[in-house]
Chains A and B, each alone.
Chain A
Amino acid sequence: EDQVTQSPEALRLQEGESSSLNCSYTVSGLRGLFWYRQDPGKGPEFLFTLYSAGEEKEKERLKATLTKKESFLHITAPKPEDSATYLCAVRLGGGSNYKLTFGKGTLLTVNP
């Protein structure tokens, strides 16, 4: 059973059309939820870390929020350069608190 599920798998937006990406998780003892951006042929690039329900973080057109069961990445007035795969990952507590478990990602395409 997947611990981290991202939806939708792919999302196509027009420039300026705001939307949200979802990351739901089934783990307990969360010790951090991470968002990364990955461009083709590159490694994932860190965006945000969220630690507790109710926490929000913003960077340019992106805002990440966290509840007890899911996280959202809100994209406001996206531009074509926001096109990328967005990855969500969780860090668990206890003996596995060193590694991140990733979802499969959401491929975002923003058309001009």
Chain B
Amino acid sequence: GAGVSQSPSNKVTEKGKDVELRCDPISGHTALYWYRQSLGQGLEFLIYFQGNSAPDKSGLPSDRFSAERTGGSVSTLTIQRTQQEDSAVYLCASSLYNEKLFFGSGTQLSVL
């Protein structure tokens, strides 16, 4: 596809369960980002990939959060033992040579 694709678009889970969020970046984009957007808050940086490496994981809120990227393409954000405060929209973005970011439509995560 032409844009950044994220799946699922919505995810409802129970507290304590693990979830995986997927991001397919624009083909050829070397940089990939995960952001989190909570109601009334700005976009919160989580992690940055350059190729398959993650030189900046500083935004991950706790060790329950992890992410990987394979083949310089698809990325997965995993949240273990979800908590209610994890409820938010998780946005993925990609860019070429760290220029403007192109965002996906996000995954709305609801933890009950």
Chain A residues at the B interface, C-beta cutoff of 8 Å:
4, 34, 36, 41-46, 49, 87, 89, 96-105
Residue of chain A at shortest CB distance from B33: A99
Partner of B105, one of A41, A46, A96: A41
Q: Is the CB of A102 within 8 A of B42?
A: yes
Docked pose: A7 CA to B41 CA in angstroms: 14
Q: Is the CB of B100 within 8 A of A46?
A: yes
Determine whether the beta carbon of B42 is less than 8 Å from that of A100.
no
Asked whether, in the complex, the Cβ of A49 is within 8 Å of the Cβ of B100, the reply is: yes
Main SS class of interface, B: strand
In the bound complex, do residue B105 and residue A42 qualify as a contact, i.e. CB atoms below 8 Å apart? yes
* 16 pairs, A vs B, C-beta closer than 8 Å: A34-B100, A41-B105, A42-B106, A43-B4, A45-B103, A46-B101, A49-B100, A98-B48, A98-B50, A98-B56, A99-B48, A100-B45, A101-B45, A102-B35, A104-B40, A104-B42
Taken together as a complex, chains A and B put the C-alpha atoms of A44 and B34 apart, in Å, by 13
Instruction: Tell me, in angstroms, the Cα distance from A101 to B101 when the chains sit together.
Output: 12
Residues of A within 8 A of B40 (CB): 104
Residue in A46, A99, A103 whose beta carbon sits within 8 Å of that of B102 in the complex: A46
Whether B103 contacts A104 by the Cβ 8 Å rule is no
CA distance A38 to B104 in the complex (A): 11
Question: Contact partner of A87 among B43, B93, B106, CB < 8 A?
Answer: B43
Residues of B within 8 A of A4 (CB): 42
Asked if B84 is at the interface of the complex by the 8 Å CB criterion, the answer is no
- Residues of B42-66 at the interface with A, using a CB-CB cut-off of 8 Å, are 42-43, 45, 48, 50, 56
Chain A residue with Cβ nearest B45: A99
